[in-house]
Structure 1
Amino acid sequence: MKKIERKDIWLFVAQLAVWLIIMLALPLATFLSTQDFHSTKTSFRVVWGIMHSPFVIYFTNFYILGPFLFFKRRFWLFVFCNLALILFMNFPFIYVFLARDRIPEMPEMSPNMWIGFFSGVFMFLLLNCVIAAIAIGIRHFIRVRQIKQQLQDEKAKNTEAELAWLKSQINPHFLFNTLNNISSLTQINPDAAQDAIAQLSDLLRYAMYETNKKTVPIQGEVEFMRNYIALMELRCNEKTEVTTTFDVGQNMEIAPLLFISLIENAFKHGVSSNRPSKIDINLLQNDDELVFSCDNTNYPKDDADRSGSGIGLENTRRRLDLMYANRYKWEQTLEGEMYHIKIILKI
């Protein structure tokens, strides 16, 4: 059974208040106009005699017949129960007709009077059916809103889980490649390798402890990218030219580690050991836009190269779709030997 929440109580109170207003409107108007308690009491009895049946039918349909029969597609049982309830609540009218010959006080009624009586009873029964339909309609509207809210909540949870999974791919991914760089460096310059390990420690500290939030300050990301680029340059020779430009504000926040995979790809596919190579990385702020661009020479790796897992572009694009849907532009071109990628974010 569903746990009763505070919003359910408020919903019941609100509906009860509406019905009380409807039933007390005429008695209150009678009292204000006559200042007579007896007339007011009589007025209330008349209203209650008419409205008690729709009142019971409404709440029975809203809280019992709707949830347990109608929305579970037990339509025939729902119709039967409603008819039984309507007939039970309006039994006095039915009794008057069935026992009219045994009621001494019953005046003689002409055919026209009986037609009027039956018409009134029919309209009143029809009103009860309309009230039942209104109760089901309101319940359906609330149910649809609750389902939509649940779907939105589930979607948000799934999005958060997917983002966490995507980010978890990034951390070991850049760690794997950086360790490869340091491993190569230990054979050439052990002292530089030791410094690189200390720098890698700072990177890991940031990746593990500073990126657990949905967004992080842009300055921390810039510092992380600077250190990461410095580590990636360790495996580059004098034929590789790396330039960077970072011009961003102090108060901006972005998704953590958003551009690292793109920088990694630039070093993976843009550097050759025996040919001139160039990498140009830029991160600029333009009012409410953040523009990341990377241009690099393109030297595709063969299948035997295991320096990366190839998830970079796909990972970044998916994170952008999840966190910046309809708020980013993606440009990706290859002209000759130069590969260009540009991302414009609306922050």
Structure 2
Amino acid sequence: MRPFLEITNTWIFPITGLVVLLLGVIGYLVLQLQQSKQKKKAAETQFQKLETKINALELQTLEARLNPHLFKNILNSIQSHAYQTYFALDKMANVLDYILYESQNKFVTPKEEIEFAMNLIEINKIKISPLFELKVKTKINEAEPLWEQQILAPLISIDLIENAFKHADLQSPDAFITITFEFRDNVFSLMVANKISTRTPLKKDKAGIGTETLQQRLHIIYKDSFKLDRFIEEDVYITHLKINLLEHKAKMHTA
């Protein structure tokens, strides 16, 4: 029996030592794994903090760029409105000068009347939408002998232009006004066309007085040397005034 016991004891101690060693290695590896996880978690936390700081810095940079850009846009908008106001006031001053001084004369030059009408149109532009289509055309021969002669009745352009802005739908994107000035063969021509508004216009007690006054003035001054047509084509209202100034001048000399 002793030899067997001796052999058994001889194998037990090495196996026990090996198990202890293995357990120790496993414990060490487990400990290292735990420490590695902790380090990884700490590193992730640190990375997240760093990323947050970077994002915050980027956001501050973007805001720093955005705020001045927004401020600049606001300034540009204010400047644009200020310029429009100044521009309109300048045109208004020209119109008032013409009404107060030039219109006191019995006649003005075609050049002066058209310049006055252009200023009047610029003032009316303030009321219209940016999408509104406004076309102003000129077909003028400045070499005509009567271009700068005082032979045209002042303020005859007001009624035709003001009516177009009054009866067109200025806020509708598909509405329009077209104004055409022409001076050829010593004939002054003004044609105004506007798409008729679908809105019901406000009734006014004195509506139409300007039109009647213009018609009377033309008859008194130019007799049969003018033609004023008003008509509707589909949904477009058109007014066309033509004054043969050379014919009128000839009649003045023979009268």
Q: TM-score, normalised by structure 1?
A: 0.42
Distance, in Å, in 1 between the alignment partners of 2:152 and 2:128 is: 29
> Which amino acid counterpart does residue 108 of structure 2 have in structure 1?
V
Matched, 1:283 2:175: no
Distance 2:127 2:95 in 1: 17
- Report how far residue 239 of structure 1 moved: 2.6
The code of the aligned residue for 1:229 comes to I
Assess if the C-alpha contact under 8 Å between 2:113 and 2:157 holds in 1: no
Q: Is residue 2:115 matched to residue 1:223? A: yes
Q: CA deviation at 1:226?
A: 0.9
Aligned to 2:159: 261
Q: Which sections of structure 1, spanning at least 5 residues, go unmatched?
A: 1-185
- Contact 2:183/2:189 (CA < 8 Å) preserved in 1? yes
1:195 and 1:287 map into 2 onto residues whose CA distance is 34
Number of equivalenced pairs: 160
> Percent of pairs identical after alignment?
24
CA distance in structure 2 between the partners assigned to 1:345 and 1:233 by the alignment: 27
Supply the AA of the counterpart residue of 1:221: E
Secondary structure at 2:104 match in 1? coil
Q: Secondary structure at the match of 1:254?
A: coil
User: What TM-score does the superposition give when structure 2 sets the normalisation length?
Assistant: 0.56
Whichever structure has more helix as a proportion of its residues is 1
Aligned residue type for 2:177: I
Structure 1 runs of 4+ with >2 Å offset: 188-195, 248-253, 300-306, 308-312
Determine the C-alpha separation between the residues in 2 that align with 1:305 and 1:198.
32
Offset of residue 210 of structure 1: 1.4
Residue type of the alignment partner of 1:268: K
SS state at 1:211 partner: helix
Describe the SS at the equivalent of 2:188.
strand
Q: Which residue is equivalent to 1:197?
A: 89
Residue 199 to residue 324, structure 1, CA distance change in 2 (3 Å): same
Which sections of structure 2, spanning at least 5 residues, go unmatched? 1-77, 246-255
Distance 2:100 2:198 in 1: 31
| Alignment root-mean-square deviation, CA | 2.5
1:69 maps to what in 2?
none
SS of structure 1 residue aligned to 2:126: helix
Q: How does 1:165-244 map to 2 (within 5 A)?
A: 189=81, 192-244=84-136
Q: Structure 1 251/238 Cα, relative in aligned 2: closer, same or farther at 3 Å?
A: same
- In the TM superposition, what is the alpha-carbon distance from 1:317 to its structure 2 partner? 1.0
What whole-Å deviation, never above 9, does each CA across 1:197-222 have from its counterpart, x for those lacking one?
23212210111011211110111111
What residue number does 2:46 align with? none
Per-residue CA deviations over 1:71-128 (Å, capped at 9, x if unaligned) read xxxxxxxxxxxxxxxxxxxxxxxxxxxxxxxxxxxxxxxxxxxxxxxxxxxxxxxxxx
1:249-288 Cα distance to aligned partner (Å, 9 max, x none): 3334300011111101011112331341111111212313
1:303 Cα deviation from its structure 2 partner: 5.1
Question: In structure 2, how many angstroms separate the alpha carbons of the residues matched to 1:212 and 1:274?
Answer: 38
Q: What's the CA shift for 1:321?
A: 0.9
Q: Could you tell me how far apart the structure 2 residues matched to 1:313 and 1:300 are? A: 22
- Counterpart of 1:314, as a letter, is E
Which residue is equivalent to 2:211? 313
